[in-house]
A and B are shown apart, each in its own frame.
Chain A
Amino acid sequence: MIFNNTVIDNTYQVINEIGSGGMGVVYLAYHLRLEKYIVLKKIKNPHTNSSILRNEVDILKRLHHPYLPQVYDFIEYDGDLYTVIDYIDGYDLNYYIKNKYVFPESQLIKWLVQLAEVLCYLHSQSPRILHTDIKPANIIITTSGDVCLIDFGISLERTDVIKGFSESYSSPEQYNNFYYLKYGQGSYVSLDERTDIYSLGATFYHLILGVRPNVADENQPGLSRYNLPYSELLLSIIDKMMCRNPKKRYRDAAAVLKAVHGMKKQDSRYKVYILLRLVSSILSVLLIVFGISMIINSYRNEVASQYEAEYNQFVSLSNRGESEQAVRAGQSLLNNDKYEKYLSDPVKARILSKIAEDYSDIGNTYNAVYYCEQALKFEQSDLLYRDYIIALLNDNQKDKAQSVAESVCGAYPDSPALAVIQAKIYYEKREYENAVRVIDSASAALSKDIDNYCAAGIIKGDALLNLDRIDEAINAYSDVAAMNDSLNCERKLGTAYVRKAQKGAGTSAYREAYKCFEKIKNNYSPNTDDAINYAQVCLSLDDTSKFSECTELLTKSAERSEDCRLYILLAFLSEKSGSGKTAEYCDKAHKLYLSMPESDKALIDSDALYKISRLYKKYYGHEW
Chain B
Amino acid sequence: MNLSIIIGIMLIILGAAIFVVSQLFLRRWINNYNKEWQGGIDSDEML
- Indicate whether A and B interact: yes
Of the listed stretches A279-287, A374-382, A387-395, A468-476, chain B binds A279-287
Question: Nearest chain A CB to B2's CB is how many angstroms away?
Answer: 6
CB pair A284 B15 closer than 8 Å: yes
Contacts of A276 in B (CB 8 A): 22, 26
- Which one of A153-161, A294-302, A542-550, A615-623 contacts B? A294-302
Contact between A264 and B37, CB atoms less than 8 A apart? yes
User: What secondary structure prevails in chain A residues at the interface with B?
Assistant: helix
B17 CB, nearest partner CB in chain A, Å = 8
Interface check A226, CB cutoff 8 A: no
What separation, in Å, do the CA atoms of A611 and B19 have in the docked complex?
89
Report the nearest B residue to A281, measured CB to CB: B19
Chain A residues contacting B5 (CB-CB under 8 Å) are 294-295, 298-299
CA distance A247 to B21 in the complex (A): 48
Most buried by B among A96, A110, A301: A110
Chain A, residue nearest B36 (CB): A106
Q: Give min CB distance, B34 to chain A, whole Å.
A: 8
Stretch of A32-40, A138-146, A179-187, A336-344 lying at the B interface: A138-146
A36 to B12, CA, bound (A): 62
Q: A488 to nearest B CB, angstroms?
A: 41
Q: Hey, which chain A residues are within 8 Å of B14, CB to CB?
A: 287, 291
**Which single residue of chain B is at the shortest CB-CB distance from A295?**
B8
Residue-by-residue, is A262-296 near B (CB-CB < 8 Å gives 1, otherwise 0)?
00100001100100110011011111101111110
Does any Cβ of B come within 8 Å of A111's Cβ? yes
Question: In the complex the two chains form, what is the Cα distance from A144 to B42 in whole Å?
Answer: 9
Q: Report B12-47 CB contacts with A as 1/0, cut-off 8 Å.
A: 111110110011001001100110111111110011
CB-defined contacts of B16 to chain A, threshold 8 Å? 284, 288
Q: Is A104 an interface residue (CB 8 A)?
A: yes
For B34, the chain A residues whose CB sits under 8 A away are 264
Q: Residue on B with the closest CB to A291?
A: B11
A254 contacts the other chain (Cβ, under 8 Å)? no
Residue of B nearest to A289 (CB): B15
CB of A3 closer than 8 Å to a CB of B: no
A277 touches B26 (CB 8 A): yes
A463 CB, min distance to chain B CBs, angstroms: 55
- Determine if A287 and B39 form an interchain contact, defined as CB atoms under 8 angstroms apart: no
Given contacts A270-B33, A291-B8, contact A103 B41 (CB under 8 A): yes
Residues on the B chain within 8 Å of A290, using CB? 8, 11, 15
- Known contacts A104-B41, A145-B46, A280-B18: A288-B2 contact under CB 8 Å: no
Closest beta carbon of chain B to A262's beta carbon, Å: 12
- Return the contact of B37 from the options A91, A101, A106, A292 (Cβ within 8 A): A106
Kindly identify which residue among A91, A107, A269, A281 contacts B47, using a CB–CB cutoff of 8 Å: A91
Nearest CB of A to B37, in Å: 5
B7 adjacent to A287 (CB under 8 Å)? no
Given known contacts A281-B19, A285-B15, A294-B7, A109 and B37 CB-to-CB distance under 8 angstroms = yes
Please indicate the chain B residues that have their CB under 8 angstroms from the CB of A104 in the complex.
41
- A24 at the B interface (CB under 8 A): no
Q: Does A222 contact B (CB under 8 A)?
A: no
Q: How far is the CB of A47 from chain B (nearest CB, A)?
A: 40
| Contact partner, A298, options B4, B23, B39, B42, Cβ 8 Å | B4
Report the Cα distance A110→B29, complex, angstroms.
19
In the complex the two chains form, is A283's CB within 8 Å of B15's CB? yes
Name the contact of B39 in the complex, choosing from A91, A111, A280 (C-beta under 8 A): A111
In the complex the two chains form, is B12's CB within 8 Å of A291's CB? yes
Contact in complex: B39, A291 (CB < 8 Å): no
Closest A-chain residue to B4, C-beta based?
A298
Chain B residues positioned under 8 Å from A273 (CB to CB):
26, 29-30, 33
Name A143's contact: one of B8, B19, B33, B43 (CB within 8 Å): B43
The CA of A563 and the CA of B6, in the complex, are separated in Å by 56
Given A273-B29, A276-B22, A294-B7, check contact A107 B39 (CB 8 Å): yes
The answer to whether B9 and A291 have CB atoms under 8 Å apart is yes
- A302 near B2: Cβ-Cβ < 8 Å: yes
Q: How far is the CA of A298 from the CA of B22 in the complex (A)?
A: 29
Task: Please determine whether B11 and A96 come into contact, CB atoms closer than 8 angstroms.
Answer: no
Q: Is the CB–CB distance between A90 and B47 below 8 Å?
A: yes
Chain A nearest Cβ from B13, distance in angstroms: 8
Residue of B nearest to A283 (CB): B18
Contact A294:B46 (CB < 8 A) given known A273-B30, A276-B26, A288-B16:
no
* A143 touching B47 in the complex, CB below 8 Å, given contacts A288-B11, A291-B9, A298-B5: yes
Shortest distance from the beta carbon of A182 to any chain B beta carbon, whole Å: 38
Given A143-B47, A273-B33, A284-B18: A106 and B39 interface contact (C-beta under 8 Å) = yes
**Least distance between A306 CB and chain B CB atoms (Å):** 12
Tell me if A109 and B39 are in contact (CB < 8 A): yes
Contact assessment for B11 and A297 in the assembled complex, using a CB-CB cutoff below 8 Å: no
Asked if B18 and A287 sit within 8 Å, CB to CB, the answer is yes
Residue of A nearest to B23 (CB): A280
Chain B residues within an 8 Å CB radius of A90: 47
Known: A273-B29, A295-B12. 8 other contacts (CB 8 A): A106-B37, A111-B39, A144-B43, A145-B39, A264-B37, A281-B22, A294-B4, A295-B8
Give the 8 A-B residue pairs with the shortest CB-CB distance, closest first. A110-B39, A287-B15, A291-B11, A145-B43, A294-B8, A280-B22, A284-B19, A298-B4
- Write 25 A-B pairs (CB below 8 A) sorted by A numbering: A107-B40, A143-B47, A144-B43, A277-B26, A280-B23, A283-B18, A284-B16, A284-B22, A285-B15, A286-B15, A288-B11, A288-B16, A290-B8, A290-B15, A291-B11, A291-B12, A291-B14, A292-B8, A292-B12, A294-B4, A294-B11, A295-B4, A295-B8, A295-B9, A297-B4
